[in-house]
Structure 1
Amino acid sequence: MQISTELAQTIVTEMQEIIGQDINYMNTDGLIVASTNEERIGTVHEGGKRVAETKSHLAVEYDGEFAGAREGINLPVYFEHEIVGVIGITGEREQVEGYGKIIKRMTELLIKDAYSNKLISQQKETQRMLVEQLLTLTSDVERQAIVKRLNISNIDTNVPRVAIVAKMKDDQIGIDQTEQIFQIFHDKLVKYFDNLIAQIHNNIVIFLNKLSRQELDQILADIQGEVKNKLGIRIHIGVGSPAHNILNVKTSYEEALVAQGWAMTLNDVVKYYNDLGIELILEEVSAEISGIYVARVIGSMDKKDIQEYEEILSLFEKYNGSIKNISEQLFIHKNTLQYKLNRLHQKTGYDMRKYSDFLMLKIAFLLYKSHQ
């Protein structure tokens, strides 16, 4: 294995900042591929070549003792029991010899870390490609090809799958924050399971081995809590209905997108497609008809009133019309709540306390929010 010249240069630069000496990195042929002394890059260091051949460190007592070498210490660098290069520290032997083992060890750790990051990046890209391919399957030939790629990645194609789509509320968050959120999802839902994850546009998409509703609820709650605590960001998650295998997960994905959209509209953390009711009908309502309906039902209300009664409507549904429970949640007297309901009736002609009127108002508020 040969490390890149970019990594080698990063290593010698960082090591120089620690010890304040010129440092060279040589490949196994003794060629200096990176150095804090630019003049030496591209030259052959016979001492470094000997280190690679003998697999032992070499002290150079004086400049020119070996062709292209200067006084200092040179040590072999290993990765997974294989010599991948030589690290050399230029300077008086008594001064630099003590740094040798430390610099060698730090160099090996940096190479190992870079290799791990490369693997993670490759795995992430592989999963993204698999997810995108699963969403664009159009022929039997493509299905056969993706099955082979999934098998190579040890992904079981025959177990039931459910699609999850997550999106951050603020589209302006930085790349670093997006990466952190992605990693939280990965660690909670992918790391220990036979699952796929990818970031597609502003969405994090997961194709998940079907879990029980209780298990999934707990995991998604943990994810939301961690994202909020670490980054102060609210996420909205949609969950599709189960597909009988991974090749049919596109329908679940499309359902998850719908559910995620309603999660954002209603400011919920999680929405399951199978829990959507009237929202599914409203998905088919055109913007024109929606505007006409909203104007007819709540068009007489200003934005502040709409926000206030939106909350009351939500609590009215949650507590099945209980004036006592709703007023307690709003921290207002029961008579004050009754006054607000009467005022809504006067403004719109609809009385929330009547079932048919409640339904009309709920549809109006849902359409209003879905087009904001």
Structure 2
Amino acid sequence: MQLNSLIARQIVERATKIIQFPVNVMGEDGLIIGSSDPSRLHRTHEGALLAIHDNRTVEINDTIASTLIGVKKGINLPILYQESVIGVVGISGEPDEVRNYGELVKMTAELIVEQAALMAQIQWNKRHREELLLQLIQGSTLNENQLLSIAERLDLDLAQPRIAAIVKVIPKQGQPLTLEHLQKLVHLLENPERDNIVGIVSVSNNEVVVLKPVTLVDNTWNKTEERKRAKRLIKRLAEENDFSVVVALGEYFPGLVGLSRSYETAKATLACAKGNKEPILFYQEHKLSVLIDSLLQDEWRREQITSPLEKLREQDSKGVLIKTLKVFFDQNCDLAQTCAALHVHRNTLRYRLDKIEEFTSLKFSSLDHKVQLYLALKCL
């Protein structure tokens, strides 16, 4: 830990609120880097050099001051951090008058140094956590031993199973979104869930990524528990902030290389769910839509898949048949359950299904035709 002008200035400001005497702060080279008298800045203080060299308090009277360069009468005390001298704090004045304030100012200086060191460590951890996360989700070329070594220094256990989740921030209407919103979200994701590896990966897309631990049972993780956690997060955000979120959770894949694959499934799930009003999205529940989405990027393929429904729409001005078809598939093609969900008689449902077959030229009795209709609905 090294003193810098910012920390020195904080020490001077804090000390001068406690005592009415001039205060100086010198670095480990004896140079004045903070002072209540700006004219003394950037000058060598020989009294401070003595205090640093001998690790002792140096009192300076008029006689001693006349023999040293850059000093005035007063008292100079070494600033210690982890038992090492990193600088000196000096109080100008008659030694008998300022002596009683020396230990108080020294203690104040050392508390400020410790606080600065703690904040620096927190920032270091935060920066390296984000760097580690980026390497993991991008499928870093670093070998596993290097990644594990980095994680160990951050007190993170990469051996435990994890999945990737993307949390997309949605600002409330008319409210601007700032970096502070994303940072607040990161804090919520890290506390109290301290095993989460969290980072802002896209400020422009308002996205935060979490590599979160999961418990595997028969190589499967508990979706119910993760849904509860996501709901708790959404509730906390609703109570405390002016934005909401959508959470997309990827699939589990073993090993460190699996984390990048998990991230890709979460990203694809989020991209595929545009227009979906669900706040919590699981790749497993949208797997088919995600997988076919990449296959239908070509316009002509999408047109081929959706053309039967376009024909149906032309004949279905009120959307009754489209709704019927959707509910039919939602109920796993069970006629009784579909009738119950739509509150219609079985004959009415049969009539609607016949009309769908007539307008689309696809038969429900054909598995191939039925799959085409199902995929077409997924592409809407």
TM-score, normalised with respect to structure 1: 0.70
Within the alignment, does 1:244 sit opposite 2:254 as a pair? yes
1:283 is aligned with what amino acid? D
Per the alignment, residue 136 of structure 2 pairs with 134
What displacement does 1:97 show? 5.0
8 Å Cα contact 1:188/1:223 also seen in 2: no
Per the alignment, residue 167 of structure 1 pairs with 168
Cα distance in structure 2, aligned partners of 1:22 and 1:248: 60
What displacement does 1:117 show? 1.6
Per the alignment, residue 353 of structure 1 pairs with none
What displacement does 1:245 show? 1.5
Cα distance in structure 2, aligned partners of 1:279 and 1:130: 31
Per the alignment, residue 261 of structure 1 pairs with 271
Cα distance in structure 2, aligned partners of 1:270 and 1:21: 60
Per the alignment, residue 186 of structure 1 pairs with 190
Per the alignment, residue 349 of structure 2 pairs with none
Distance 1:206 1:3, change over 3 A: same
What displacement does 1:263 show? 5.8
Q: Describe the superposition over 1:256-314 as per-residue Cα deviations: whole angstroms up to 9, x where unpaired.
A: 11233356632333211112155335624348576876876779999xx99xx99xx99
Q: Describe the superposition over 1:185-228 as per-residue Cα deviations: whole angstroms up to 9, x where unpaired.
A: 11233x2x3x5332212322222222333443333233222233
Per the alignment, residue 283 of structure 1 pairs with 293
Cα distance in structure 2, aligned partners of 1:158 and 1:234: 32
Distance 1:300 1:223, change over 3 A: farther
What displacement does 1:179 show? 1.5
- Give the paired residue count: 330
8 Å Cα contact 2:163/2:262 also seen in 1: yes
Cα distance in structure 2, aligned partners of 1:274 and 1:118: 41
1:161 is aligned with what amino acid? R
Within the alignment, does 1:205 sit opposite 2:215 as a pair? no
| Structure with max Cα Rg | 2
TM-score, normalised with respect to structure 2: 0.68
Select which of 113, 121, 124 maps to 1:122. 124
Q: Residue 188 of structure 1: SS of its match in structure 2?
A: coil
What displacement does 1:98 show? 5.4
Distance 1:110 1:174, change over 3 A: farther
2:200 is aligned with what amino acid? Q
Per the alignment, residue 9 of structure 2 pairs with 9
Distance 1:219 1:138, change over 3 A: closer
Identity of aligned residues (%): 18
Within the alignment, does 1:231 sit opposite 2:241 as a pair? yes
Q: Residue 30 of structure 1: SS of its match in structure 2?
A: coil
Q: Describe the superposition over 1:30-85 as per-residue Cα deviations: whole angstroms up to 9, x where unpaired.
A: 33232232332232323323333454444444492562222333322222232221
Cα distance in structure 2, aligned partners of 1:83 and 1:153: 27
User: Any residues of structure 2 matched to 1:15-164 within 5 Å, and which?
Assistant: 15-16=15-16, 19=19, 21-62=21-62, 64=65, 67=68, 68-91=70-93, 96-97=98-99, 99-137=101-139, 142-143=143-144, 145-150=146-151, 153=154, 155-164=156-165
Q: Residue 243 of structure 2: SS of its match in structure 1?
A: coil
Cα distance in structure 1, aligned partners of 2:82 and 2:11: 18
Q: Residue 265 of structure 1: SS of its match in structure 2?
A: coil
Distance 1:281 1:37, change over 3 A: same
Distance 1:172 1:360, change over 3 A: farther
1:40 is aligned with what amino acid? R
2:167 is aligned with what amino acid? A
CA RMSD in angstroms, aligned pairs only: 4.4
**Where in structure 1 are there 5+ consecutive unaligned residues?**
325-348, 351-355
8 Å Cα contact 1:32/1:40 also seen in 2: yes
Cα distance in structure 1, aligned partners of 2:139 and 2:128: 17
Deviates more, 1:82-91 or 1:13-22: 13-22
2:182 is aligned with what amino acid? T
Q: Residue 163 of structure 2: SS of its match in structure 1?
A: strand
1:200 is aligned with what amino acid? V
**Where in structure 2 are there 5+ consecutive unaligned residues?**
216-221, 332-336, 344-358, 361-368
8 Å Cα contact 2:58/2:75 also seen in 1: yes
Cα distance in structure 2, aligned partners of 1:118 and 1:154: 17
Q: Residue 228 of structure 1: SS of its match in structure 2?
A: helix
8 Å Cα contact 1:158/1:244 also seen in 2: no
Distance 1:59 1:222, change over 3 A: farther
